[in-house]
Chain A
């Protein structure tokens, strides 16, 4: 397996990130920005607090849903609920914002009802409460999915023991369910925390003021709203530092891939008929499910109602731009992932240098540390003396989107490539199958599906991206998410609805295609 593409990809990665960091360092200059430090310190504390709160709420709802779903395996609408949860987990953030506003906003479904009852709900959507609702909306399903997988793969012997020893439902929860939740929680909590801390679209749209912001938004604002290069750079450097600090414990906690059910005869849970759960479970499923399903329904109904507004030139223009950016971003991201995975495999299996192989793996997820906004700010600063960055907005957005997709694409293609080498490597060597033939005969069969999944995920991520597109956009350059954000801002809810629906359908088609090819909904897709 040739190492060249991998080295090229690595070089590209290093160049982009390196340039951005250089840009940030130069623009950052001295850390002396006087009184702004009070605000920045507060901002960081607020961001961390918001992320923590979002994580706790998401885990709670996700855990409750997972437990109830594990106990109730047959009720009408179960599959629809699980499908809805999967959809919520992969929806672009700005679409989720629209859905939440459409339901909970003053002019929304619940807002209207509450208003009629004399409650004034509309205003509380802005600020921390709105942000929390949106974050829980798409992170609780992620938590639920992880927990449910764990709950469903409990050793059957434990269920038999529970039946055999006559364990009460509370004991079953204590001895069987709770350890599963405790085991899975740290990993998924770390992931959700990082996502909420670096949240952009939700905070930008629902922020409501400087007291509800994240560093990502602050970087964006410093550059786009105030042209404060130095401040943007300092914020970006802080962002990188904090993400590194966060990522270390997250990696240490590890994310175990959910294991499929243990071997042997599957055993039924014994606490289904418990009175406590028979009351609690339907309530949890009803309210938790409604929380997730109703906003999704709002996207569909309101989107269809205003479908006519889709045929405006601006929408079509945004659609074309989104595709023109999304497809290349997906291709490049996947190509780079493939190249890096090949290199990593070559190092690990071919040369036995597993530490170098791990380093390549780390490079692939670099974007989790050098956040999209920090990267964009750095690149902007570096390019500005040479060329107007807005003039090369499209290639820049494509590049950063590709890097954003890299970790997920890598996660898809690295395991099958490695597996192929471990299983068939020596066989292929002994038969003299090398080069192109090897790729075609040995790797491709194992790689085909994950590759398609990777491509779908990478492209969908780019379709749904608001931050980078908004960062580099000027008047003419709008993608669908940017258009949606503008419509939301102008409170043109009807037009926002149709764009939401369009964007959702695009992203969903991709994920459905990916699911068909991989047989599994994308875990941890965000």
Chain B
């Protein structure tokens, strides 16, 4: 179980306070308008920023005292997940050893991860030689080799075509089920997310304004922000 209780952070012009519970092994979709606080939430969990107060627990462990590298999670950004001058295999290898000192067994593991995300044989390519979708899959492969129980995704598929996006979301779901991962995925297409998400949280104004099963969140318009958001059909220009 991932629990955020009153996790508060302050910026010069706004303030965020998060309250959220995600059961272990669940896929929780984070939706909401841009600038509303989805990314901040993920960065708080990842450890890139520090909260003023509140608690962050995963599986009974307090995550707050841990540095970003020590938290049991993997994170994918919207872009720039890979280093352009390293090969795909090396980029994945960073997940095993950030100094890239890899044994033969580890290299085999990398190849396996690449195969799992359907990029077998492309290990020697540089990110510049891969498509957007392929790059994000390399990042997914890296998350796999890290074998962390929690996975955070910050709109990693927003730049892809709808068909590809659908496939990637499906892949994330499959990996989640195979490995028993807890997944938080920020996404700007709630309808697509609702196909795989167990839980959906609507975030705006630095708060989790509503959380529950996807269908409920999409149809229920308790909060005025929710109404505004969904008036556009739940879509926003990425």
Check whether chain A touches chain B (CB < 8 angstroms): yes
Chain A positions near chain B (C-beta within 8 angstroms): 155, 157-158, 160-168, 170-171, 175-176, 179, 265, 267, 270
Taken residue by residue from 61 to 90, chain B's Cβ proximity to chain A (1 for < 8 Å, 0 otherwise) reads as 000000111100011010111011110000
Please report the total number of B residues contacting A with Cβ < 8 Å: 26
A273: shortest Cβ distance to chain B, in Å?
11
Task: Specify which chain B residues have a CB less than 8 angstroms from the CB of A158 in the assembled complex.
Answer: 80, 83
- Chain A contact residues: helix, strand, loop or mixed: helix
Q: Which of A155, A158, A161, A162 has the most CB of B within 10 A?
A: A161
A165 touches B94 (CB 8 A): yes
B43: shortest Cβ distance to chain A, in Å?
7
Taken residue by residue from 8 to 28, chain B's Cβ proximity to chain A (1 for < 8 Å, 0 otherwise) reads as 000000000000000000000
Looking across the interface, which residue of chain B has its beta carbon closest to that of A161?
A: B81
A171 touches B98 (CB 8 A): yes
B154: shortest Cβ distance to chain A, in Å?
10
B37: shortest Cβ distance to chain A, in Å?
12
Chain B positions near chain A (C-beta within 8 angstroms): 39-40, 43, 46-49, 67-70, 74-75, 77, 79-81, 83-86, 94-95, 98-100
Q: How far is the CA of A164 from the CA of B39 in the complex (A)?
A: 15
Task: Specify which chain A residues have a CB less than 8 angstroms from the CB of B47 in the assembled complex.
Answer: 163-164
Known: A160-B75, A171-B100. A165 touches B69 (CB 8 A): yes
User: Per a CB cutoff under 8 Å, which of B39, B49, B84, B98 touches A165?
Assistant: B98
B69 touches A166 (CB 8 A): yes
Q: How far is the CA of A165 from the CA of B73 in the complex (A)?
A: 10
Looking across the interface, which residue of chain B has its beta carbon closest to that of A159?
A: B48
B173: shortest Cβ distance to chain A, in Å?
23
User: Per a CB cutoff under 8 Å, which of A163, A170, A175, A176 touches B69?
Assistant: A163
A164 touches B46 (CB 8 A): yes
Task: Specify which chain B residues have a CB less than 8 angstroms from the CB of A176 in the assembled complex.
Answer: 83
Task: Specify which chain A residues have a CB less than 8 angstroms from the CB of B48 in the assembled complex.
Answer: 160, 163-164, 267
Q: How far is the CA of A451 from the CA of B49 in the complex (A)?
A: 43
A-B contact pairs, 28 of them (CB 8 A): A157-B77, A157-B79, A157-B80, A157-B81, A158-B80, A158-B83, A160-B46, A160-B77, A161-B81, A161-B94, A163-B68, A164-B46, A164-B68, A165-B94, A165-B95, A166-B70, A166-B98, A167-B69, A168-B98, A171-B98, A171-B100, A175-B85, A179-B85, A265-B39, A265-B40, A265-B43, A267-B48, A270-B68
Q: How far is the CA of A417 from the CA of B75 in the complex (A)?
A: 44
B220: shortest Cβ distance to chain A, in Å?
31
Task: Specify which chain A residues have a CB less than 8 angstroms from the CB of B46 in the assembled complex.
Answer: 160, 164
* Given pairs A166-B68, A175-B83, 5 additional interface contacts (CB within 8 A): A157-B81, A161-B81, A167-B94, A167-B99, A170-B99
